Amino acid sequence: MSVAIGSFLVFAASQVGTPGPANMAMMATGARFGFRRALPFVFGVLLGKQFIIWPVGFGLMEVAQRAPLIFEVLKWASAAYICWLAWKVANLRLDVAKSVDAPPGFLAGLIVHPLNPKAWAMITGGFTNFVDPGAPALQATLIIAICLLGLQAVLHPIWTFGGDRIAKTVAGTPAEPWLMRGLALLVVGSVLFVLFGGGRA
């Protein structure tokens, strides 16, 4: 086997399932718009990671090492985008029935991971640590892609549903604005941790 699947799944679950900018954004979206309305955003986030996996699997990192400025720009673009999502969350309220705002959709979710430098680092680490040297690129990349897609399909909706459940207990109460501000701060905090503390994708 070209990929140590069991070990990689443990590693990937520890990354995909723990707090990070993407999970915090999905939790906040679920809280604001409800689980069902947030699903297009979740599906976008889920599939967006494939835009990293396949180029990395076929050697993009070798090119990027010759142009490190690409990743510096990527890092700050990611921070700006996710903080913008957090700002929107902080100023929204949970009364979905009266809402005229549209939830972030599939395309908004699609670019979350490609703009996240830690997602790139996690996937690169997956290839360098769990793929046998000389393994066929197509086979190894397909295995990594399927493993991550399966984990995301399970774990991302859990974060979104958690936001939805929390919101239903506080909608219309004095705690509501504090919840939304708190979720926004968690999003921003996770971004800062990723940028300066080596957090998860």
What's residue 93's pLDDT? 61
Mark out the alpha helices in 49-116 (DSSP H runs). 50-57, 60-64, 69-90, 106-110
pLDDT at residue 199 above 60? no
In terms of pLDDT, which residue wins out, 44 or 175? 44
Which residue range forms the structural domain that includes residue 66? 5-197
Q: How far apart are CA 59 and CA 40, in angstroms?
A: 30
Tokens of 92: 């929204």
Percent of the chain beyond pLDDT 70?
A: 76
Rounded Cα gap, residues 126 and 58, in angstroms: 13
Query: What is the model's pLDDT at position 157?
Result: 95
* pLDDT given at position 149: 96
Rounded-to-integer distance, Cα 29 and Cα 183, Å:
9
Q: Give the mean pLDDT of 72-76.
A: 66
Q: Is the pLDDT of residue 201 over 60?
A: no
The strand pairing partners of 131, in sequence order, are 3
Domain count, the chain: 1
Tell me: pLDDT of 135 over 90: no
pLDDT band at 160 (very low <50, low <70, confident <90, very high): very high
Q: Is pLDDT larger for residue 181 or for residue 98? A: 181
Query: Which one is predicted more confidently, 98 or 164?
Result: 164
pLDDT at 76 over 70: yes
* Range 132-154 average pLDDT: 91
User: How does residue 182 score in pLDDT terms, banded at 50, 70 and 90?
Assistant: confident
What is the pTM for the complete model shown?
A: 0.71
